[in-house]
Structure 1
Amino acid sequence: MSEENLEMDKYLFHQGTHYNAYDFMGAHAAEDGVRFITWAPNASHVQLACDYNDYSGEGLDFEKLSDQGLWMLNTSHVDVGDAYKYKVHFGEGSHLKSDPFGFHHERRPATASVVHADAFQFTDDEWMAKRRSSNVYESPISIYEMHLGTWMKHPVEETEGRTIDEITDASYYSYREVADQLIPYLDEMGYTHVEFLPLMEHPFDLSWGYQVTGYFAATSRYGRPEDLKYLINRLHEAGIGVIMDFVPAHFCKDAHGLRLFDGSPTYEHPDERIAEKKEWGTLTFDYGRPEVQSFLVSSAMYWIREFHIDGLRIDAVHSMIDLNFENYEPDSKIYNEDGTEENIAGIELLKKLNAVAFEYDETLLMMAEDSSDRTMITHPIHEGGLGFNFKWDLGWMHDRLDYMEQDFHARAHNHNKLTFSMAYKYNENYLLPLSHDEVVHGKKAIVDKMTGDQWQQFAQTRLLYGNQFTEPGKQLLFMGQEFGMYHEWKDKEQVDWHLLDYPVHADLKRYVSDLNRFYRKHPEFHGWDYRPEGFRWLLVDDSTHSILSYVRRYGDSFKVCVFNYRPEVYHDFRIPVPEPGVYREIFNSDSSVYSGSGVLNDGRHFSSDGHYIREDQSILITVAPLAFQVFELEDKTKGRK
Structure 2
Amino acid sequence: MITQDDVAEIKSGRVLDPFAVFGPRHRGQAGFLVAFDPAAETMEALTPKGSLPMQALGDGLFTGQLGTETSYRLRATKGPHLWDFDDPYRFGPVLGPLDLHLISEGTHRRLWQALGAHAITHEGCAGVHFAVWAPNARQVSVVGDFNGWDRRRAVMRRRGAGVWEIFLPGLQPGETYKYDIAPMHGGSALKADPLARATQLPPDTASRIATSQPYDWADDAWMESRHLRNNREAPITIYEAHLGSWRHRDGRSLTYREAGIELVDYAHDMGFTHIELMPLAEYPFGGSWGYQPTAMYAPTSRFGTPDDFRALIDAAHAKGMGVLMDWVPAHFPTDAHALAQFDGTALYEHGDPREGYHPDWNTLIYNVGRTEVKNFLTANAIFWLREFHLDGLRVDAVASMLYRDYSRKQGEWVPNHLGGRENFESITFLREMNALAYGEGPDGLMTVAEESTAWPGVTTPVHEGGLGFGFKWNMGWMNDTLRYIEHDPIHRRHHHDLMTFGLVYGFSENFVLPISHDEVVHGKGSMLQKMPGDHATKLSNLRAYYGFMWGHPGKKLLFMGCEFAQDHEWNHDFGLDWGALNHPGHAGMQRLVRDLNTLYRAEPALHARDADSNGFAWVDREARAESVFSWLRYGHAEHRPVAVLTNFTPVERQWRIGLPRPGRWREALNTDAGLYGGGNRGNFGSVHANGPPHAAQPHSAVVTLPPLSTLFLIPEDDR
For structure 1, which segment, 195-204 or 269-278, has the greater mean C-alpha deviation from structure 2 after superposition?
269-278
Partner of 1:35: 129
Q: How far did 1:132 drift?
A: 3.4
Please, what TM-score do these two structures have when normalized by structure 2? Answer: 0.84
Q: How far did 1:579 drift?
A: 2.5
Q: Are residues 613 and 2 of structure 1, via their aligned partners in 2, closer, same or farther at CA, if it must alter by over 3 Å? A: farther
Structure 1 runs, 4 residues or longer, greater than 6 Å off: 1-5
Q: Does the 8 Å contact 1:321/1:342 carry over to 2? A: yes
Equivalent residue in structure 2 for 1:630, among 697, 709, 712 = 712
Name which one, 1 or 2, has greater alpha-carbon Rg.
2
**Is it true that 1:21 corresponds to 2:111 in the alignment?**
yes
CA distance in structure 2 between the partners assigned to 1:277 and 1:528 by the alignment: 38
Partner of 2:536: 455
Q: How far did 1:365 drift?
A: 1.3
**Is it true that 1:87 corresponds to 2:207 in the alignment?**
no
**Is it true that 1:400 corresponds to 2:481 in the alignment?**
yes
Partner of 2:560: 479
Partner of 1:273: 354
After TM superposition, list the pairs within 5 Å mapping 1:176-215 onto structure 2: 176-215=257-296
Query: CA-to-partner distance for each residue in 1:379-414, whole Å, 9 max, x for gaps?
Result: 111222100010000011011110011111111110
CA distance in structure 1 between the partners assigned to 2:423 and 2:131 by the alignment: 31
Partner of 1:162: none
Query: CA-to-partner distance for each residue in 1:144-194, whole Å, 9 max, x for gaps?
Result: 0000000011233xxxxxxxxxxxxxx121111222211221121111000
CA distance in structure 1 between the partners assigned to 2:451 and 2:527 by the alignment: 21
Q: How far did 1:221 drift?
A: 0.5
Equivalent residue in structure 1 for 2:434, among 337, 347, 354 = 354
**Is it true that 1:124 corresponds to 2:205 in the alignment?**
no
Query: CA-to-partner distance for each residue in 1:188-220, whole Å, 9 max, x for gaps?
Result: 111100000001100001100000111110100
Equivalent residue in structure 1 for 2:306, among 202, 220, 225 = 225
| Percent pairwise identity | 39
CA distance in structure 1 between the partners assigned to 2:92 and 2:276 by the alignment: 40
CA distance in structure 2 between the partners assigned to 1:143 and 1:416 by the alignment: 27
Instruction: Give the RMSD, CA atoms, in angstroms.
Output: 1.6
CA distance in structure 2 between the partners assigned to 1:203 and 1:134 by the alignment: 34
Partner of 1:547: 628
One-letter amino acid matched to 2:644: C
CA distance in structure 2 between the partners assigned to 1:140 and 1:302 by the alignment: 27
Q: How far did 1:536 drift?
A: 0.4
Equivalent residue in structure 2 for 1:585, among 658, 667, 682 = 667
After TM superposition, list the pairs within 5 Å mapping 1:315-334 onto structure 2: 315-328=396-409, 330-334=410-414
Paired residue secondary structure (1:427): coil
**Is it true that 1:98 corresponds to 2:163 in the alignment?**
no
Partner of 1:163: none
Q: Are residues 135 and 259 of structure 1, via their aligned partners in 2, closer, same or farther at CA, if it must alter by over 3 Å? A: closer
Partner of 1:146: 241
Please, what TM-score do these two structures have when normalized by structure 1? Answer: 0.94
Q: How far did 1:524 drift?
A: 0.8
Partner of 1:168: none
CA distance in structure 1 between the partners assigned to 2:120 and 2:571 by the alignment: 45
CA distance in structure 2 between the partners assigned to 1:327 and 1:587 by the alignment: 47
Partner of 2:700: 618
Paired residue secondary structure (2:331): coil
Paired residue secondary structure (1:612): coil
Query: CA-to-partner distance for each residue in 1:296-317, whole Å, 9 max, x for gaps?
Result: 0111111100100000000000
Q: How far did 1:269 drift?
A: 1.2
CA distance in structure 1 between the partners assigned to 2:696 and 2:99 by the alignment: 63
**Is it true that 1:569 corresponds to 2:569 in the alignment?**
no
Query: CA-to-partner distance for each residue in 1:37-86, whole Å, 9 max, x for gaps?
Result: 100011011111111332121120111111x3111111115321111100
Query: CA-to-partner distance for each residue in 1:517-536, whole Å, 9 max, x for gaps?
Result: 11111111101111111100
Partner of 1:415: 496
Paired residue secondary structure (2:592): helix
Partner of 2:384: 303
Q: Does the 8 Å contact 2:230/2:236 carry over to 1? A: no
Q: Does the 8 Å contact 2:93/2:166 carry over to 1? A: no
CA distance in structure 2 between the partners assigned to 1:104 and 1:631 by the alignment: 52
Paired residue secondary structure (1:107): coil
Q: Are residues 22 and 135 of structure 1, via their aligned partners in 2, closer, same or farther at CA, if it must alter by over 3 Å? A: closer
CA distance in structure 2 between the partners assigned to 1:567 and 1:69 by the alignment: 68
Q: Are residues 535 and 269 of structure 1, via their aligned partners in 2, closer, same or farther at CA, if it must alter by over 3 Å? A: same
CA distance in structure 2 between the partners assigned to 1:381 and 1:4 by the alignment: 36
Partner of 2:142: 48
Equivalent residue in structure 1 for 2:589, among 508, 527, 533 = 508
After TM superposition, list the pairs within 5 Å mapping 1:599-614 onto structure 2: 599-602=681-684, 604-608=686-690, 610-614=692-696
Paired residue secondary structure (1:586): strand
CA distance in structure 1 between the partners assigned to 2:634 and 2:337 by the alignment: 54
Q: Are residues 564 and 237 of structure 1, via their aligned partners in 2, closer, same or farther at CA, if it must alter by over 3 Å? A: same
Partner of 2:424: 344
Q: How far did 1:333 drift?
A: 3.9
One-letter amino acid matched to 1:579: R
Q: Are residues 509 and 135 of structure 1, via their aligned partners in 2, closer, same or farther at CA, if it must alter by over 3 Å? A: closer
Q: How far did 1:374 drift?
A: 1.0
After TM superposition, list the pairs within 5 Å mapping 1:223-302 onto structure 2: 223-302=304-383
Partner of 1:166: none
Q: Does the 8 Å contact 1:50/1:57 carry over to 2? A: no
Paired residue secondary structure (1:48): strand
**Runs of 5+ consecutive residues of structure 2 not aligned to the other structure:** 1-90
Q: How far did 1:332 drift?
A: 2.8
Q: Does the 8 Å contact 2:241/2:560 carry over to 1? A: yes
Answer 1 or 2: higher relative contact order, Cα 8 Å, separation at least 6.
1
Partner of 2:67: none
How many residues align structurally? 619
One-letter amino acid matched to 1:435: S
CA distance in structure 2 between the partners assigned to 1:603 and 1:476 by the alignment: 29
One-letter amino acid matched to 1:151: W
CA distance in structure 1 between the partners assigned to 2:465 and 2:94 by the alignment: 37
